[in-house]
Amino acid sequence: MEFKFNVNDIFKQPIVEINNNLIPPGFSGDRRALWDTLGKVSEVVNTMGEASAVAQGLSKPITTAERLRNSEHKLYFLIDQAANNGKGAVTGMLKTGNKGLYVFDRDGQHYQVTPPCILDFYIHESRQRTGLGKHLFEHMLQKEEIEPVKMAIDRPSDKLLGFLNKHYLLNSPVKQMNNYVVFDGFFPKSAEPSHVTESKPSGNLGRKESANGLQKFTSPQGRYGAPRPPCSMGQIIHNQTTNNKNQEPTGAQIVSQ
C-alpha cells in the first residue's frame, strides 16, 4: 500500500511494531513533528484496516487507529523500503492481543484463559504468495516468544487455516462457540500431571490451574451436555460483560503463501 508521504520517514525498519500510543520505533522530534507522525501512522492503520476488511468481505474495518488507542493490542507492519520510488510502501499487517476466553477441548472440558490471539492478518494483494506472510508471522512469534499452537485465532478464513497447516502443521482445528479457533496443542496434556495442579473446588465445579495460565473446569457434562454446570453460564456472561468495554469485532485473513 503506497501513501503520498514518505513511509520510510516514519517506519525506519522492514518490520515495525505499533502499540496504542501510535508512536513508531525510533521516533525523535518536537511536538509538531510528533503530531505530524501520529497523523501519518493513523492514516496507515486506517488504510490497512480498510483493505483488510474488504479482503474479508466485512461491512466495516476491524482495525482502526481509534480502536488501537483504546486497546492493548499490537500491530506489526511489513515495509517494502524500496517501493514507491524509494518512499516505501506498507505491504502487510498483523494484529495480536490477549483476550479473556472460555474454550473447550475435544472432550468437552472447558478452560478459562487469556491467551495471545491473532486478531487481524492481511497481506496486500500485490504481494501475496511471495512468502511475506510467513516472514511477518515468524517475526511476531519471535517477538512474543510464543508457539503458534498456543495462540487462539479469531474467525480465521480457510486460507489462514491452510497457511497454519502448511507452515506449522496445525490441522484439525477445535472450533469454539465464540468464533475463535484453537488447536489440540493449545491445551495442557493430561498425560503430564505436573503441568496441572488441583485447587479447591468452587460450588459443583472442580477447578485446575496449569502452569501456562489455563484454568480447567471439570464437570460430568460434556460440551453439549445438559444441564450445564450451575455457574458456567454466569461465568460466561460475566466474562462477556467485563470484557465488553474493550471488545471489538475481530477477524483474520490471509492468502496462502
Give the position of cell 472450533: 175
Which residue ranges make up the annotated binding site? Answer: 121-134, 157-166
List the beta bridge partners of residue 58: none
pLDDT score recorded for residue 159: 87
The full set of domain ranges for the chain reads 7-242
Identify the band that residue 106 occupies on the pLDDT scale cut at 50, 70 and 90.
very high
Q: Average the pLDDT over 217-241 and give the result.
A: 45
Q: How much is the pLDDT for 117?
A: 98
For the chain, what percentages of helix, strand and coil (3-state, to nearest 5) are there? Answer: 35, 25, 45
Look at residue 157 in the predicted model and tell me its pLDDT.
Answer: 86
- Assess whether pLDDT exceeds 70 at residue 89: yes
Using CB atoms within 10 A of its CB, is residue 194 exposed (0-12), middle (13-18) or buried (19+)? exposed
- The whole-number pLDDT of residue 202 equals 43
Query: Could you tell me which of 151, 143, 140, 137 has the C-alpha nearest to residue 212?
Result: 151
> d(Cα 62, Cα 58) in Å, to the nearest integer?
8
Of the two residues 83 and 190, the one the predictor is more confident about is 83
Q: What is the pLDDT of residue 251?
A: 58
Query: Which residues does the annotation place in the binding site for acetyl-CoA?
Result: 121-134, 157-166
Closest Cα partner for 239 from 114, 105, 115, 101?
Answer: 101
Q: Report the pLDDT value the prediction gives residue 188, as an integer from 0 to 100.
A: 82
Give yes or no for residue 206 having a pLDDT over 90: no
Mean pLDDT of the chain: 82
Domain made up of 7-242: CATH architecture? 3-Layer(aba) Sandwich (3.40)
Higher pLDDT, residue 252 or 62: 62
pLDDT (tens digit per residue) in 122-166: 999 888 888 999 999 999 999 999 999 999 999 998 889 999 999
At 216, is the pLDDT very low, low, confident or very high (cuts 50, 70, 90)? low
Residue 43 grid cell: 492514516
Higher-scoring residue by pLDDT: 27, 207: 27
